[in-house]
Amino acid sequence: MAESTGAGGAIRGVPGPDHLVAGRYRLTSKIGGGGMGAVWLARDERLEREVAAKQVISTEGLTEEQADELRQRALHEGRLAARLQHRNAVAMYDVALDRGEPWLVMEYLPSRSLAQVLHMTGTMPERQVAQIGAQVADALIEAHESGIIHRDIKPGNILIANRGRASGTVKLSDFGIARAKDDGQDSPAGIITGTPAYFAPEVARGTDPSEASDLYSLGATLYTALEGTPPFGVDEDSIRLLHKVALGQIDAPKHDGALTRVILDMLQPSPKRRPSMVEARDRLAEVAAAGGNPTAILSAPLQASEGAPAVWLRRTVGERSAGAPGERGSTVRPASSGRPGASGPVERKRAAPPAPRPNAYVPPPVAPPSTMSNAVLAAWIIGGFIVLAAIIAGIIVAIG
């Protein structure tokens, strides 16, 4: 991927429309944001095509060391994403430096995120959910084979194309906090990154993310699309939610059927009891095919239910800010007691550069064992002594 620098590498403010990034990509309009910065619709003036250009959070005001670290993180994301070439993953085209600021240039997919769709509809039909899951799982199989763990699978990072020949195409996006299994770049000790409502229990407890935790997050995303709420519910108290996730206590689903059974297997608390990503993909494809060809489902565009409009094609106002339940970002540090809902300092603010981490949390300790079992045991012991005393008294009376 080419890298280019602007005039003198000077660090300046945030650019606006019509700015030419690295002498090649002309910004048109801001279309969103991801884990590491603003995303613009731009035109590649060399190849005459539309692209998505993501400006990593500005280095303005940082020391040179901090700015360089931010640039390296951008290069890291670009290189990771470039490893993955799959029809169901957003393609990475270029990494550029403009006026000292790092940019990632990606495939532009006119689309609506699954989070936006769920904001409008609440839920989706079983076969559509299964097809989305099968196609994202297929992309994740390729990612894992390339040594990439996504770490932030959620409705907001799944796109459904809504224009032209690609309409209905499902793509996984935003590898902003992805990690290569062999790159050694981990978050600082005691910090985990991602979106808590979609965490796997072991990640909430501080274990490094893995292929199995990506599978769990996909299962949580599909659960949300089918049920209308994340498997652990929605809680304004992020610490309490994180404790619930750490214990693996999902809410019982309202739906029953083949898809629910697959999802519940994906949501097994123990990583060893979950299916492989290949097995999950194949089972999801079978549900989506409903007796048809499961293999064809993996490359087919998403179809609306019979007699219903394709909701991802609707035009709505203010949809960019819409999100699925549980996707609101924050930075939270639990109180020293580590108990769910404990009083103590709670910060809700954006993480500071040079290493922005969306939704960063200090993992809570595993909740202490319930004292209920101890109380029951004590009751049995006391009761046993009473019964034994009665028996002895009876024997004495009988002898006397």
Which active-site residues does the annotation give?
A: 152
Number of other CB atoms surrounding residue 351 within 10 Å: 16
Secondary structure of residue 348 in the 3-state scheme: coil
Tokens of 94: 């270029």
198 neighbors 250 (Cβ within 8 angstroms): no
Tokens of 343: 């009083």
CA dist., res. 188 & res. 239, Å (int): 19
Residue with tokens 């214990």: 247
* Residue 104 parent element (H or E): strand 101-107
CA 359 to chain centre: 10
Q: Report, in angstroms and rounded to the nearest whole number, the Rg of the chain calculated over CA atoms.
A: 25
Q: For residue 89, what is the DSSP state? A: B
54 annotated as a binding-site residue: yes
116 neighbors 175 (Cβ within 8 angstroms): no
Residue type, 369: P
Vertex 166: Cα angle to 160 and 167 (nearest 5):
55
Tokens of 164: 């032209």
Residue with tokens 């048109």: 28
Phi-psi region of 23 (alpha: psi -120 to 50; beta: other; left: phi over 0): left
Number of other CB atoms surrounding residue 217 within 10 Å: 27
* Number of residues that make up the chain: 400
Number of other CB atoms surrounding residue 343 within 10 Å: 8
CA dist., res. 198 & res. 16, Å (int): 34
280 neighbors 266 (Cβ within 8 angstroms): yes
For the annotated binding site for ATP, the residues are 54
For the annotated binding site, the residues are 54
